[in-house]
Structure 1
Amino acid sequence: MNRRRPPRSASADELLTTLHELTAQARREVELHQARVELAEALQRNMLPAHLPDLPGLRTAARYTPARSGLDIGGDWYDGFPLPDGSLGFAIGDVQGHDVEAAAFMGQIRIGMRAIATTASDPGEIIGRTNNLLLSVNSTLFATCTVLRFDPVTWEIDSARAGHVPAVWALADGRTGIIDDAGGLPLGIAEKQRYPVTRRRLTGQGAFILITDGVIEGPSFSIEKGLEAVMRRASVLAGSGAGELADEIIKAAVLTGHEDDAAVLVLCHDSAPGRT
């Protein structure tokens, strides 16, 4: 009767060789992942503005914090730019996903919107033309955004949004509210969309706070709870500096579980000229 031989035990040298190969493979995978993360971070840094415009009586600040999953990068963005009628434009947005592709698409949106804003001042028109431009490049991604126009003569803000989360207003006397105006579809979904514009006159000293959903929403944290958290923080600091307020608002992202990247854009304004 033939008996099967027991399996040969691996020698110490063979085990060491296998361990060395596995360690080398793991190191290569870590280095590849790190290279992708560094590339994504470089894309994000170079696609967000180094400075935001401001004017006497208007102070601005923005903050960005990466996601805690994926490549620690994403498509959240903000921007500020002069408009052809002498007013200032501000934008915040959120591209689907958080990877290199989302960061690159975010860059396309920001560059395209800036180019369009050299010939258009109306926020609804800027968003609509940006939407048509993005559809022309046949991307499979979509994005939400809000665009504001601040008029330094009339002290008014015009706003329009494309599927984006509501903004928050706050006055130095502690009053706050949610800006949940009618909007249109996110960018990159359908052609020839119209984006309604809402106009507000700034009166008392306060702040306009634009956010992305990473600041206010998480797996077990609703948008409503997130907006309440932002309003609580804003009610205390609306009369402070823009940077201090932006620092405090971005902290709300921790409450959500912080699985998505997050961005905050703050416009702190004085009372309208001629009013106290």
Structure 2
Amino acid sequence: MSTVLMNGVFIPREEAKVDIEDRGYQFGDGIYEVIRVYNGKMFTAKEHFERLQASCEKINIPISFTVDNLTVLLEELIKRNALHNGIIYMQFTRGTSPRNHAFPTKEIAPTFVAYTKELNRPVTNLSNGVTAITVEDIRWFRCDIKSLNLLGNIMAKQKAAEAGCFESIQYRDLTVTEGSSSNIWVVKDQVIRTHEANQYILNGITRQKIVEICQKQGMEVKEEAFSIEDLIDADEVFLSSTTSEVTPIITINNVPVATGEVGEITRRLQDYFKEEIIAQCGELE
């Protein structure tokens, strides 16, 4: 029987219930985070907690948990569930109150839920690469907030699934934004590019780590918008996310990216990223 963390209390998963008038259920009025766990240790936990707090502030959800509080609670959750490799999913909603579009009174406490899930590293995808399609980005204009409102992302991901692909690469007015559940990168003439961190994308934690790695390793990286044409003309394309790490994209819309092989820059970034994981969480299996 697995354990869930609900409003700061550890309870059996079977007892974890949310009221039908919880605003997360009725309005998607909340935020979430997914943290990777390797060898029973959280990877980049502090960065995830800080982004969670920032998202809460942007939509005015008051939370009383500090980074230190969350660290202690989630480490205990990992221990209770004997999680070795996997993820922690956590979310805050604005709480439970009679259905009304306007915010409830300040006396209503947010609902906090966290649970674990076993998940191994995607070694096959990392090694061989994945396929993708392009789709129009139909989401709202505050993608920097990691909100529960994921319908646009889900529709894009479903289009990829129906096309037999791993990911959809989204664009607005022919400018590439991000994947349905990832950040997108292109490499051209040894220069690495990804969309700047503004309201049109989620500033992924893995994205941030890759930028740091590039700067530390002397690899040229530019955080700036690029077009569909740049995507198609790229020497290499890859995606990044908490669960996918640094995953090569080898075909887009059934057309090979360059030679259709995983590129040298992508391989180097995979190695550097793996070193970051090992430094925080120990040797990988």
TM-score (norm 2): 0.29
Larger relative contact order (Cα-Cα within 8 Å, sequence gap ≥ 6): 1
Q: Which has the larger radius of gyration?
A: 1
More helix by share: 1
More strand by share: 2
TM-score (norm 1): 0.30
